[in-house]
Structure 1
């Protein structure tokens, strides 16, 4: 049965279309209403499906029912808040994440993370991240060259203290419309290969249409990777990762691409060129060591990359932050 689901999900990724794009929009509605009751009928209607067909297609695409998917996202949002909002009461976090009672939240949280919310807040999150998800789970390597297995498979190593923090600047980024392909259940080398396949296809199409040299085609576009949750708390099977490019207003003929708005706001940004820093290093060397900013869990993590004139990738990582 598992292999049948995996085959179905692989087929969905290989032949996405307007149907999948509508499901993307429904999923984004779910993300934006984590604290609200799940109205499956309304979600199905937003994607132009009956409740039965919506849940069946949703399960084919993600491997989870819509109800289970939303429950897991609520719990990860709660885990996020427990780590980054230490002054907010646990009962308040449970309510804000859509749980009807503290008892229901406590039971669900323990089932998901194998510890109490209190233990998680007191540092259990770090053990969970290392043990259950793994040090290689950080999605910052999504666009590393597929042949560079040494970089893709290298375990996380903390940077020298202060070396990442010294390079971070908090900037106000404008909103941006993104045309994207969504990937489920892929991480590490698999995700890198999938994103590179998108880039290569785009470069070939541009070269054919505009008679551009490959290097010129590559340099003509910046690419964005977007992750809506803490990379360290989400296992590979539950990854939901958006990869694409800024929409210039001309639209797209590809029905496989979704359209989402990256929200404006304050972001802690780390510039890079010819290296692959990880979000985790930004958390540990900067976010956890300063007192002015905290993570804003309502906005996504963003990476922007493009090829420089020297052929190497350059860009920035951006953590959404708000003042304490």
Structure 2
């Protein structure tokens, strides 16, 4: 391995460590010197390095991540006040948060909170409409309006079996993909992750996929996805690979069997249909797709098996 290659990948690993640290501490003040220390770079040079690497200034990146997390919290946690959401993502006051939110999303936090669930219902409605068309049943062609929640109980029930499980923490190594969610992720697994697994003797281990961003809030070119592989306790990672721990705890687990692109529909049904009726809510741990060792994948049809795991807690 050439010195230049090693240096490039070392930078990648350090920057990924910083981005992970930021997401874990959005509710706290994050100073340049603190983040430079996480990356083991000089504070004098860190801001320029960060901007060149991420494509945004540190301040712009922090603001965007805080607002994206706030947008999700507003829509999914109606029990939280706007001020509580603001404080959870690091704003010092509700007024400052509301100004920043409206500047970024062109609507107030209260408007977002009232309209965003309707967008989720529209997406779920679209998913079910497609499925009903696939069934080609003329008696089921009418789809109720998205603003009539009671009408949804008459539609086709959730096809996935969802169970609540206590999952243990898992030590994983991951490579990060940044870009639009979709076919590029499959290409990333095939062309980058699989060869790396072979080189490091990691075939035959469980794999995990973590999409960190909502593509309806985050620009597609900035969406982050981690392709993870379970590793033993003594595994040593070489840059750009990062080692982390997926936190254990209570998860809603649904088995998925279908084509890769359709998994987005499964996420939609699980998170926007099953979850509101379950008496549970998301907590702050990341959701992920788990691919067990014996999970099937058909290269000809594109069909795959995995477990969709969302971290939950009681309402």
TM-score band by shorter chain is 0.7 to 0.9
The one of the two structures with greater contact order (alpha-carbon pairs below 8 A, sep at least 6) is 1
Alpha-carbon spacing, 1:257–1:113, altered in 2? closer, same or farther (3 Å):
same
**Counterpart pick for 2:270 among 269, 279, 282:** 282
1:85-124 matched pairs, under 5 angstroms: 85-124=77-116
2:205 aligned with 1:221:
yes
| Aligned counterpart, 1:303 | 289
Report the TM-score, using the length of structure 1 for normalisation. 0.75
Match of 1:292 among 279, 298, 310: 279
1:16 to 1:181, Cα distance in 2 relative to 1, 3 A: farther
> Which residue matches 1:260?
244
Q: Look at both structures and tell me which one has the larger radius of gyration over its CA atoms.
A: 2
2:145 equivalent to 1:157: no
Show the counterpart of 1:174: 168
Note closer, same or farther for the CA distance 1:104–1:65 as it changes in structure 2 (3 Å cut).
Answer: same
1:187 aligned onto 2:175: no
Q: Is the 8 A contact 2:237 2:243 kept in 1?
A: no
TM-score w.r.t. the length of structure 2 is 0.77
Which residues of structure 1 form unaligned runs of 5+? 1-11, 136-155, 210-216
Structure 2 residue runs without a partner (length 5+): 133-154, 299-303
* Pairing 1:272–2:260 present: no
Check 1:73–1:267 CA distance in 2 against 1; reply closer, same or farther (3 A cut): same
Whether the 8 Å contact between 1:162 and 1:285 is mirrored in structure 2 is: no
Give 3-state SS (helix, strand or coil) of 1:266's partner.
Answer: strand
Relative distance call for 1:16 and 1:269 in structure 2 (3 A) is farther
Q: CA deviation at 1:73?
A: 1.2
Match among 300, 312, 322 for residue 313 of structure 2? 322
| Superposed CA offset, 1:80-135 (max 9, x none) | 211121111111211221112222111111122221110111123654998xxxx7
Match of 1:247 in 2: 231
- d(CA) in 1 for partners of 2:53, 2:239: 16
Q: Residues 225 and 311 from structure 1, CA distance in 2 versus in 1: closer, same or farther, beyond 3 angstroms?
A: closer
Equivalent residue, structure 1, for 2:35: 43
The DSSP-based 3-state class of the residue aligned with 2:100 is helix
Task: Determine the structure 1 residue equivalent to 2:62.
Answer: 70
Aligned to 1:5: none
Residues paired across the two proteins, number: 277
CA distance in 2, matches of 1:13, 1:82: 43
The 3 A distance-change label for structure 1 pair 248 and 98 is same
Structure 1 position 62, deviation (Å): 2.1
Match of 1:42, SS?
Answer: helix
